[in-house]
A and B are shown apart, each in its own frame.
Chain A
Amino acid sequence: MAHHDAPPTPTDAPPSLRRIALAGNPNVGKTTLFNLLTGLRQKVANYPGVTVERKSGRLTGATPAEIIDLPGTYSLNPKSLDERIAYDMLVGRIEGERPPDLVVCVTDATNLERNLYLASQVMDLGLPTVIALNMMDAAEEAGLDINASALSHALGIPVIPMTAARKKGMEALREALLADPPAPAIRRWTLMSAVASKVHPLTNVLASCVPDLPAPQRFSEVLHTLANDQALAYWADRAPGFHQAVLDARTDLNTRNVPYRQAEVIGRYGWLSPLVAKVVTRRKNAGELSWSDRLDAVLTHRIAGPLLFLVILAVIFQAVFSWATPAMDLIEGVIAGLSGGVRSLLPRGAPTDLLVDGVIAGVGNVLVFLPQILLLFFFLGLMEDTGYMARTAFIMDRIMSKVGLSGGSVVPLLSSFACAIPGIMAARTLANERDRLITIMVAPLMSCSARLPVYTLFIAAFIPAGRLFGFMGYQGLAMFSMYLLGTVMAFVAAWVLKRFVFKGDSSYFAMELPPYRLPQFKHVLWRMVERSKLFVLRAGKIIFLMSIVLWFLASYPKADPPPAMQAQQGTLEARYAVTLDSVATAQGLTVPAFLSLGPVEQALGLIAAGTPDTETELAALRIEYPKRVTGAWAIFEAQQTLDEGLTTIANEKAGYQVRNSFIGMFGRALEPVMRPLGFDWKISAGIVTALAAREVIISALATLYSVGDADETSPLLKDQLKADTYPDGSPVYTPLVAVSLLIFFVFALQCISTLAIARRETNSWRWPAVMWLYMTGLAYLFSFIVYQGGLLLGLG
């Protein structure tokens, strides 16, 4: 197993500190309990080499103890990654993690049997165990009377009734945590004899092959290897004798038709069912529906269900776009202000440029995503906490299964319409690793919001403004088509991946629909912050570095502006000096003398302010000092002309610089490859810059065309694009080129952050690389087809 060979995980707890593990099914309030026990003294990391969260914290209060929140699982039978981690943590198989001194099995009192299944597995490992019988209030409401002491007696371990969400039972639990650990329980369930007769000898074989394995674990280990191929594979190299013995046992059991793979389940439930029946009594009649059930009748109703789902989605999207946009503008404004401020304070030169255009711009590129990401994580957390997330999977599963996915992929994919990063991270809820990987691989095809500025610019500039059938605007249609194209391709890609790459899985889907619960806002907000922090730190680092690299590539090699530009600047400045001189001389003064006159200074200040109040003042001043004010006006207008001229020159210089920089060279080198798609070298260069973040192409194009500060709505940039021609006079951008470029953007993966997060979520560079290759391939292919096809059809 990968993690066995990974370097040790440093736990910052001293070895003598008591270690308490929390185990339990998903959705039983384990996290709530963990939060209550540790306050905010928590640390979230990853288990070595895997993307499973390792949550640990310190117990609040006088006596220190380390609390580890194990992944929520229904069983310790190591079939899924979560189960493997939970099992390995409990038996001390993970490097640097010693087994816990005490395990608290958090159980949901409203469905004891299934919850006790896991508890019985934990107990079998010989670890001191305590049952935290949670959700007693919900059990009470459901009319269930649970005799906790009888349960404790029947199991052989302490049982502590509680309702963590309402902080009931916490004192009793804390006492139990700090008291002497209870003696490990004796196993009280029976394995069917045909299997038991194999298991007992196998434990002896295991003992002799692996003497270091603690005795209490042998039974469980044998049980797992007998029934679970992955568990058995673990021993193939480590204990070949044992491995073979198990294979022999299986062969024998097979010939006798013994259902050994179900023996554990049958045995455990065989014991638990009657046990629970004795300990739990129902007060109300069985037919009465809980409020959660009644809510489900509406939310999963045949008609109301999907409708409400669409409404909720619409609300979320609207909220994300409308609330995030002002925040994003604010951040952009702050960054711009900061850039300007720093630039004016520091001396001119390369280090300042690096700081402003590289570092600050880089940070800006990261932070500008933050509002959307925070909001998305907030809504995702809300849906998870209330239990609604499971219902979205339930409603959409039928459609998703047609392309080989499951309903669990719906929310991750939909989130990707705003930003693929939260979407990819949301895929963690998928239990099936293959589904999760496929979802991650196709999520970036859902047109994220970063593509929107690009769509907007090119559609507005090149798609005619007419209406199809007098109803749907061509531009709106084009926009919609881009989104549709991405979505359809995502589903096609998913189907292809499922069919040919991650071949045929038993597409089974058993998923719990947890009872609806009121969300705990503190928890939702805390998770939102945690996950967003992850983005800022991981993807952030990479976007930041990439921005600096791109800045470097665009600023070097330093191109001296052609003498003509320098001459232009000289001419402008000279003209200005001449104007000043003629104005001053006409009034019989030198320039400095004229400028220092009181009325002239005052007039210049008023003209510059330009508000209705100052205009009144100015009019009054003009009556008093007509000649001075006229002179001031002439000087002001000359200043304006100079400023505009200097700005134009600055933009041209910037354009010249980029065109002759590494990026420009790269664009020109790339041009032969991109010409078949209709792109010239400037577009090619722009596409390269879009790697940092898609919308960077807008500012890149603005710079390349010497437009200066422009965004996608800038008429200046649009005009420049439309006016651009090749040496032979043919336009660089035709509607066909624009469509080709749009299609390129629909498919191409141009987001370093997505690659970074995909790397993190899949734990290797392989999948991000494949993602980049296939998406770029799709982009090239479809752009090619559209452009060349369009030329053939005479649409060019």
Chain B
Amino acid sequence: MTLKDLKPGERGTVIGWIDEVPPVRLLEMGVLPGSVVEVVRFAPLGDPIDLKVRGYHLSIRKHEAEMIRVARA
């Protein structure tokens, strides 16, 4: 499953990527294999997603989220 499939309140552990690797910036911000991420909410219009990762809030678009494979935590 990917990050996009998580619902608000759910957590997952990043285990890899689908197809291409996301831009390095996303990894530098702390989203890499082994990271625990929690979906806090979706934006009012449905996109982007507010994630809690390594103690802070990161906002990413759904189409980025669907590149990231997670295992439900």
The 0/1 profile, CB within 8 Å of A marked 1, for residues 43-58 of chain B is 1111110100011111
Contact A399 B54 (CB under 8 A): no
The answer to whether A399 and B45 touch across the interface, beta carbons within 8 angstroms, is yes
Min CB distance A11 to B, Å, is 30
CB atoms of A510 and B57 under 8 A apart: no
| CB <8 Å contact, A513 and B59 | yes
Q: B32–A265 contact, CB under 8 A?
A: yes
User: From DSSP, what is the main secondary structure of chain B's interface residues?
Assistant: loop
A397 touches B61 (CB 8 A): yes
- Whole-angstrom distance between the alpha carbons of A111 and B60 in the complex? 18
Docked Cα-Cα span, A39 to B35, in Å, equals 40
Residues of B within 8 A of A (CB): 21-35, 40-41, 43-48, 50, 54-61, 63-64
In the complex, A302 has a CB within 8 A of chain B: yes
Partner of B44, one of A112, A114, A303, A511: A303
Interface residues on A, range: 35 or more
A117 touches B28 (CB 8 A): yes
Are A508 and B43 CB-contacts (below 8 A) given A79-B25, A112-B55, A394-B48? no
Which residue of B is nearest A297, CB measured? B41
CB distance from B46 to the nearest CB of A (A): 6
**Cβ contacts A to B, 15 pairs, < 8 Å:** A79-B24, A111-B55, A112-B55, A114-B29, A262-B24, A300-B43, A395-B43, A397-B61, A398-B47, A398-B48, A508-B64, A510-B64, A512-B57, A513-B58, A514-B57
B14 to chain A, nearest CB (A): 11
A306 pairs with B44, CB closer than 8 A? yes
Q: Which residues of B contact A261 (CB under 8 A)?
A: 21, 24
- Pick the contact of A300: B25, B41, B54, B55 (CB < 8 A): B41
Interface of chain A residues 229 through 279 with chain B (CB within 8 A): 259, 261-262, 265-266, 269, 273
Asked whether any CB of chain B lies closer than 8 Å to the CB of A611, the reply is no
A111 B56 Cβ-Cβ under 8 A: yes
Tell me if A602 is interfacial: C-beta within 8 Å of chain B: no
Contact of B28 among A75, A108, A297, A509 (CB under 8 A): A75
- 15 further contact pairs, Cβ within 8 A, besides A265-B32, A508-B60: A75-B28, A110-B55, A111-B54, A114-B56, A269-B34, A305-B43, A394-B48, A394-B50, A398-B43, A508-B26, A509-B59, A510-B59, A511-B58, A512-B56, A515-B56
Which residues 298-322 in A have Cβ within 8 Å of B in the complex?
Answer: 300-303, 305-306
Does B29 contact A74, Cβ atoms closer than 8 Å? yes
Q: In chain B, what residue has the closest Cβ to A273? A: B34
Task: Kindly state the separation between the CA atoms of A310 and B47 in the bound complex, as whole angstroms.
Answer: 18
User: In the bound complex, do residue B46 and residue A398 qualify as a contact, i.e. CB atoms below 8 Å apart?
Assistant: yes
In the assembled complex, A325 has its CB within 8 A of some CB on chain B: no
Which A residues are CB-close (under 8 A) to B35?
Answer: 269
Hey, which chain A residues are within 8 Å of B48, CB to CB?
A: 394, 397-398, 407, 509
- CB pair B29–A259 under 8 Å, yes or no, is no
Residue of A nearest to B31 (CB): A510
CB-defined interface of A66-105 with B at 8 Å, one 1/0 digit per residue? 0000000011010100000000000000000000000000
Residues A262 and B50 in contact, CB atoms below 8 Å apart: no
Chain B residues lying within 8 Å of A305, measured Cβ to Cβ, are 43-44
A517 CB → nearest B CB, Å:
13
Q: B23 to chain A: which residues have CB within 8 Å?
A: 506, 508, 510
Q: Name the CB-closest residue of A to B30.
A: A114
Q: How far is the CB of A223 from chain B (nearest CB, A)?
A: 12
| A77, A112, A395: the one within 8 Å of B45 (CB) | A395
CB under 8 Å from chain B, chain A span 489-518 = 506-515
A368-405 CB contacts (< 8 Å) to partner B: 390, 393-399, 401
- A397 to B59 CA separation, bound complex (whole angstroms): 10
Closest residue of B by beta carbon distance from A406: B61
Residue of A228, A394, A395, A396 contacting most chain B CB atoms (<10 Å): A394
Assess whether A695 is interfacial by the CB under 8 Å rule: no
Look across to chain A and name the residue whose beta carbon is closest to the beta carbon of B41.
A300
Which of these, B40, B55, B61, contacts A113 with CB under 8 Å?
Answer: B55
Q: Tell yes or no: A227 within 8 A of B by CB.
A: yes
Q: What A residues does B60 contact at CB under 8 A?
A: 508-511
Neighbouring B residues of A117 by C-beta, 8 Å: 28, 30
Contacts of A301 in B (CB 8 A): 44
Give complex CA distance A277, B54 in Å.
11
Q: Is the CB of A394 within 8 A of B26?
A: no
| Chain A residue, CB-CB nearest to B46 | A398
Whether B44 pairs with A512 at a CB distance below 8 angstroms is no
Complex CA distance for A397 and B48, rounded to whole angstroms: 7
CB-CB < 8 A to A513: which residues of B? Answer: 50, 56-59
Which of A401, A510, A515 touches B26 (beta carbons < 8 Å)?
A510
